[in-house]
């Protein structure tokens, strides 16, 4: 779905990313791991069109692309769910899901059409915990808010959904709901990138793990080849000798 080749990004004298090669396949959850300052946020912002890489090339479905902003990324089918979720507390679920992309009919808001689409999307993802799609977002729990943010990203026929710390600050039951949602996206054939510091979540939901160390890619491994200790090694030193037996995933 997405191929990164030689992606580099500098902020003044600081090199945030150096020559990163990474492939993101459809139908799989790729976890992006790395210590604070490893370059995870910068990398997803390059994919989301917020930062323009200083070097390298992005390929989308085999074609080279230049993203001039988040709108370009969204037009391709790349949606990002940030940690702060960017939901408006004073609006209801439907209004949030269509914020900035409202549907009109004869110059007026097509409330019925938006309600139907929002309801169908939530149902298709089995988001059943919300009382009403006209509920104000301010009244939702953390897990419900995260579910709405994920459903919003799927509403736009996205092909790649990026999630930044989707289970941060959630309880056990809410985390379970969100992880099931993440798996559902991949099972529907979407490419999914998840940034998470929570190794339990990574091992629960990811098919493969890409580890960044000081702005460089330390490796991409199928989840079955990794131990938690190996991921920590890769995050802190950029290498490990504690892999389970199996082939290296390379850049597949």
Per-residue pLDDT tens over the stretch 1-11: 999 999 999 99
Give the CA angle between residues 166, 150, 207 to the nearest 5°. 60
Whether the CB-CB separation of 227 and 242 falls below 8 Å is answered with: yes
Q: Please report the domains of the chain, with CATH numbers, ordered by start residue.
A: 1-77+158-252 (3.40.50.300), 88-157 (no CATH)
What the block records as the tokens of 240 is 């490990």
* pLDDT of the residue at 130: 82
Helix, strand, or coil (residue 33): strand
- Rounded CA-CA distance 3/154 in Å is 21
Higher pLDDT, 189 or 150: 189
List, for residues 184-198, the tens digit of each pLDDT value.
Answer: 999 999 999 999 989
Name residue 213's beta-bridge partners: 216
Compute the mean pLDDT over every residue in the chain, rounded to the nearest whole number: 90
Q: Which range has the worst mean pLDDT, 14-28, 36-50, 80-94, 197-211? A: 80-94
Q: Which residues contact 89 (CB under 8 A, 6 or more apart)?
A: 136, 137, 138
Around Cβ 92, how many Cβ atoms within 10 Å? 19
| The pLDDT of residue 247 is above 70 | no
Residue among 12, 68, 9, 72 at smallest CA distance from 42: 9
List, for residues 210-224, the tens digit of each pLDDT value.
Answer: 999 999 999 999 999
Around Cβ 233, how many Cβ atoms within 10 Å? 20
Higher pLDDT, 84 or 25: 25
Instruction: Please compute the mean of the pLDDT values over residues 78-95 and round it to a whole number.
Output: 86
Helix, strand, or coil (residue 151): helix
* pLDDT of the residue at 93: 93
């Amino acid at each position: 779905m997405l191929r990164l080749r030689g992606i580099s990004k500098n902020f003044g004298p600081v090199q945030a990313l150096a020559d990163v090669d990474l492939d993101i396949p459809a139908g799989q959850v790729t976890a992006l791991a790395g210590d604070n300052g490893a370059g995870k946020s910068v990398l997803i912002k390059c994919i989301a069109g917020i930062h323009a890489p200083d070097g390298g090339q992005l390929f989308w479905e085999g074609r080279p692309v230049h993203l001039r902003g988040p709108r370009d990324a969204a037009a391709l089918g790349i949606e990002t769910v940030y940690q702060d979720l960017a939901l408006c507390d004073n609006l209801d679920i439907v209004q949030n899901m269509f914020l900035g992309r409202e549907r009109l009919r004869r110059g007026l808001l097509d409330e019925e059409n938006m309600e139907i689409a929002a309801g169908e999307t939530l149902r298709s993802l089995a988001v059943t915990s919300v009382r009403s799609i006209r509920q104000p977002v301010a009244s939702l729990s953390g897990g419900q808010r995260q579910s709405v943010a994920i459903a919003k990203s799927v509403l736009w026929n996205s092909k790649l959904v990026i999630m930044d710390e989707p289970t941060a600050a959630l309880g056990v039951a809410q985390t379970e709901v969100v992880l099931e949602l993440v798996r559902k996206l991949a099972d529907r054939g979407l490419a999914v990138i998840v940034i998470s510091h929570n190794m339990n979540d990574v091992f629960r939901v990811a098919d493969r793990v890409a580890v960044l160390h000081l702005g460089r890619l330390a490796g991409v491994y199928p989840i079955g080849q990794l131990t938690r200790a190996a991921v920590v090694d890769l995050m802190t030193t950029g290498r490990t000798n504690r892999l389970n037996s199996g082939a290296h995933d390379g850049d597949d």
